[in-house]
Structure 1
């Protein structure tokens, strides 16, 4: 069965609404013979007369009235859907979902979201703040448009774009004996109570992997599941802690970070997206702002290191 064309359906609706071929032809920017051919073609495809025509009037048949009631609603829904897509494409509507590890949210993502909201106030932003593995899962499942994490670099279903290399540091209070140093060796931790995340954390895996060739190290006095708990222990003076640099609270929190060396341990934080999948206009715009902010941050850090050296 041949399917009616959309222009033929719109022609029929316009003639029915205006009750005039001449007026409908003008509204649709068609010649009157062309409009008549469209309506006649529609009636031929459907096998039923929709309009009764005389030299002075146009009237719907009973079949035409039933069909107009049905098709009018369908075309209205279609037009609203098209307008909605145009709004999404122009970033005047829609939403975007970002997966993000906890440490990145407060250090630069909130500022990025603020910039995006200033430019596109009608687009809603959702955050999925979870651990690295859960953030990776949110991208692979399609829950998040893209994500910021340190996991997924070698996952075949994910495109990983490196953004920054983050060192691990010793977190301690400003008055701690190690706080004034530029760097601290791992072996120095034996003189002070220190804490680590447990083996359930991927952060601990990175630490253990890097320290395999170091030999026996001082045993931590405490292991916890979450880095936020480690920071809390440092703030109260219970212990110093080994954490990624971005997990340190912003000033004026009573915690400072001293870079660890021998060995230096880092993790690469990057942008994750599903391989072979395009981003929505909103996600593309937000990702662009994020990449620009990271590039500016890395450039500023490079200038700072150059001055120190």
Structure 2
């Protein structure tokens, strides 16, 4: 029984220690956690030590310039995060008898996710369920998957390299990547270019542009054409890759529909291949083990139904 008085750990644990640990894990720093909690750094360090003593395991490896959660720390972060999320939803759960839908929906997206499927769903909820609160955060695709896996998000939308058995995936839309350069690049404004013309130019890349990652098709294309010159810049964020390309640091690969406005404004120039560019699929990801509140359940369910009702060709952004 949950209320069994013999369960001394549950009855004696100071739950404030768990909250302090969650903030430490989220901030990846004792100092930043203390600032966020409005407490002194020694008090936060002592709270972490007390929790480690009560659990009889090390939760954080810390030293000169190093801060990382141990495997036990990552497990506790996942479980405690789910616990506190459940507690935060109690007011909404207890008020389910009311007709008005409320609750928090936390969405994690890769940096270049642009689709009317998501926008229409957000518009509908804003109009019909004004009490629902949304949090949308941009992360790398790897972090999106990890946080959905740890039940820290309602849903994720991102690129997928391989599908994990404990998550549910739905093909949301397909986009095509093209190569682009900025105005100071010598290729800017030139018509009739060939792939060979790109060989002597450096590249700016996403962190996920690796042969074993979600953007492997771009890497394969570059390798096939010998476009293996040094990468002069990297970022996980589309905006920063775009900035470096526009500043003339090198050629970059972007979803064609996302940067179309930049091309029309003369800020970027489309480079080959003009035909059969790399296709990349974007997925909606949910964790079936996550206990969802009413708002999350309805939002995810409605979005999935909208995806199913929309033919793939209407969810494909042409190159």
- State how far apart, in whole Å, the 2-side matches of 1:199 and 1:132 are: 8
- State how far apart, in whole Å, the 2-side matches of 1:241 and 1:81 are: 46
Structure 1 position 199, deviation (Å): 7.0
- TM-score by structure 1 length? 0.56
Other structure's SS at 1:85 match: coil
Q: Match of 1:42?
A: none
Structure 1 position 238, deviation (Å): 3.9
Other structure's SS at 1:172 match: strand
What 5-or-longer segments of structure 1 have no aligned partner?
Answer: 1-79
Matched, 1:115 2:124: yes
Q: 2:206 aligns with which of 197, 203, 219?
A: 197
Residues 297/192 of structure 1: CA separation in 2 closer, same or farther (3 Å cut):
farther
Q: Match of 2:246?
A: 235
Q: Is the 8 A contact 2:114 2:258 kept in 1?
A: no
Residues 179/123 of structure 1: CA separation in 2 closer, same or farther (3 Å cut):
farther
Other structure's SS at 1:104 match: coil
Q: Which has the greater radius of gyration?
A: 1
Q: Match of 1:134?
A: 143
Q: Which structure features the higher share of helix residues?
A: 1
Residues 234/296 of structure 1: CA separation in 2 closer, same or farther (3 Å cut):
farther
- State how far apart, in whole Å, the 1-side matches of 2:197 and 2:115 are: 30
- TM-score by structure 2 length? 0.54
- State how far apart, in whole Å, the 1-side matches of 2:106 and 2:172 are: 19
Other structure's SS at 2:131 match: coil
- State how far apart, in whole Å, the 2-side matches of 1:149 and 1:97 are: 14
Other structure's SS at 1:116 match: helix
Matched, 1:170 2:179: yes
- State how far apart, in whole Å, the 2-side matches of 1:82 and 1:194 are: 51
Q: 2:106 aligns with which of 97, 115, 119?
A: 97
Other structure's SS at 1:118 match: helix
Residues 258/161 of structure 1: CA separation in 2 closer, same or farther (3 Å cut):
farther
Structure 1 position 189, deviation (Å): 1.1
- Cα RMSD of the aligned pairs, angstroms, is 4.1
Q: 1:248 aligns with which of 254, 259, 276?
A: 259
Q: 2:295 aligns with which of 282, 286, 299?
A: 282
- State how far apart, in whole Å, the 2-side matches of 1:96 and 1:199 are: 27
Structure 1 position 210, deviation (Å): 5.3
